[in-house]
């Protein structure tokens, strides 16, 4: 399943690549925690090693931020020998970012980030769970139950021997649809199942995202986050992204009945429901997995569907979206800031009904999470605020030099654990929670 999340480059990877190209040129600035993986206790000395390559810069400016937003210090680091050290301390649980800047040529700069966590097991949610949170979602699931799923499967060529492949469409609330693809090993049998949900953006599905898993022995359903056909030419998705789905994360975000994420979350429930009702499911293993927006959907699915037996989610989005209330960056989609032309208080209130932190206490199955220490899209403190609320067996992999997208193997420690979990779950063994 590692290739599943990396077979096509989502928007956050493309953004990282473009930024890196703008930064680096012949210079490279590298920041690593002196104590790996960058996790400390209150009052500990926190240090980052700073190294510059391809430059004879004598010093670099740095800024230290608590929660990624509040400046708590700045200064210069000596780089005359190509390496230097930044030090600080923090007495409260939280997240520290060190931003280092060096000049590039005559009119530019190179920037890099270092991260650290202080007592992450004590990081708590920014705001309380709404009193009627469970009642709201119970009502929405009842609404979904009034709409027959009416699954339509269209056989197609999957391009992989030993695998059956289908395009899938099902009905969702208020005249909308769920669109995706399904693959299974050929022949008779009952198989462990996995629901694969997608990162942010507007794009087609790739057959390899299901056929590879099916060839390993999985029954796989992969659904789009949007009510769109799954395999149109790229220009179709570009037009949607620039038109009806432009800034889709803000659509209806000032009313919990019209939020774009309502249909998305219920699509996930129905996808899990469909897999659990198939006669070729083994009746034991039903996993959900994804990264970023897919990680958000994965945790929500486990919270609202009782048959989910495992979650694997890298850099999950949607965690602690009102983080600024607690003095830290919010998690994507950063609805705290998506208030233009709207009542900001309403937007922030509504976001609490879709915040993964508020779903987490309902998750009792084993969960594997990856969190990047320099991820400013789905920041580590929000991810930990969510992780600390999970009620079942759980494991979190701290990625000390990882931003939101994979770069130079920065997500490798998560995928090593991912593959161990996947192998165990495929064989019907318990999740190998560390």
Domains of the chain: 12-122 (2.60.40.10), 125-426 (3.40.50.1820)
Whether residue 15 has pLDDT greater than 50: no
> What does the pLDDT read at residue 54?
80
Whether residue 28 has pLDDT greater than 90: no
Tell me the pLDDT band of 5, cut-offs 50, 70 and 90. very low
> What does the pLDDT read at residue 316?
98
pLDDT in tens, 78-125: 999 889 999 999 999 999 999 999 888 777 889 999 999 999 999 999
Between 14-23, 96-105, 113-122, 230-239, the lowest mean confidence (pLDDT) is in 14-23
Task: Confirm if 382 and 67 have CB atoms less than 8 A apart.
Answer: no
pLDDT in tens, 158-215: 999 999 999 999 999 999 999 999 999 999 999 999 999 999 999 999 999 999 999 9
From the number of C-beta atoms within 10 Å of its C-beta (0-12, 13-18, 19+), residue 343 rates as: exposed
């Amino acid at each position: 399943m590692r290739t599943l999340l990396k077979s096509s480059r989502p928007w956050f990877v493309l953004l990282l690549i473009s930024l890196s190209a703008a930064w680096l040129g012949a210079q490279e600035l590298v920041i690593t925690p002196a104590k790996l993986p960058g996790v400390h206790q209150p009052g500990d000395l926190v240090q980052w090693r700073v190294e510059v390559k391809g430059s004879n810069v004598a010093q670099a400016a740095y800024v230290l931020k608590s929660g990624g937003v509040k400046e708590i210090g700045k200064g210069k680091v000596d780089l005359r020998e190509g390496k230097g050290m930044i030090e600080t301390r923090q007495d409260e649980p939280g997240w520290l970012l060190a931003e280092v800047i060096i000049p590039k040529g005559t009119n530019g700069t190179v920037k890099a980030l270092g991260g650290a966590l202080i007592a992450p097991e004590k990081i708590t949610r920014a705001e309380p769970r709404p009193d009627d949170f469970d009642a709201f979602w119970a009502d929405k699931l009842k609404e979904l139950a009034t709409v027959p799923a009416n699954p339509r499967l269209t056989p197609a060529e999957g391009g992989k021997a030993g695998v059956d492949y289908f395009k899938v469409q099902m009905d969702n609330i208020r005249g909308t649809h769920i669109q995706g693809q399904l693959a299974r090993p050929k022949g008779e049998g009952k198989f462990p199942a996995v629901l694969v949900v997608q990162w942010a953006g507007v794009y087609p599905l790739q057959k390899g995202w299901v056929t590879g898993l099916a060839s390993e022995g999985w029954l796989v359903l992969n659904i789009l986050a949007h009510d769109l056909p799954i395999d149109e030419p790229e220009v179709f998705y570009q037009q949607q992204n620039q038109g009806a789905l432009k800034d889709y994360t803000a659509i209806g975000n000032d009313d919990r009945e019209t939020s774009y994420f309502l249909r998305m979350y219920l699509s996930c429930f129905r996808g899990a429901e469909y897999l659990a009702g198939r006669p070729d499911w083994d009746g034991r293993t039903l996993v959900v997995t994804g990264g970023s927006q897919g990680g958000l959907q994965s945790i929500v699915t486990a919270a609202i569907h009782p048959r989910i037996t495992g979650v694997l989610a890298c850099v999950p989005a949607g965690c602690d979206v009102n983080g600024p209330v607690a003095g830290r960056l919010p998690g994507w989609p950063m609805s705290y800031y998506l208030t233009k032309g709207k009542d900001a208080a309403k937007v922030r209130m509504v976001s609490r009904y879709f915040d993964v932190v508020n779903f987490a206490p309902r998750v009792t199955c084993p969960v594997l999470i990856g969190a990047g220490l320099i991820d400013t899209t789905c920041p580590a403190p929000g991810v930990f605020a969510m992780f600390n609320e999970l009620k079942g067996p759980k494991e979190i992999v701290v990625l000390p030099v990882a931003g939101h997208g994979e770069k130079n193997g920065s997500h490798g420690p998560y995928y090593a654990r991912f593959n161990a979990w996947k192998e165990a779950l495929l064989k019907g063994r318990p999740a190998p929670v560390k």
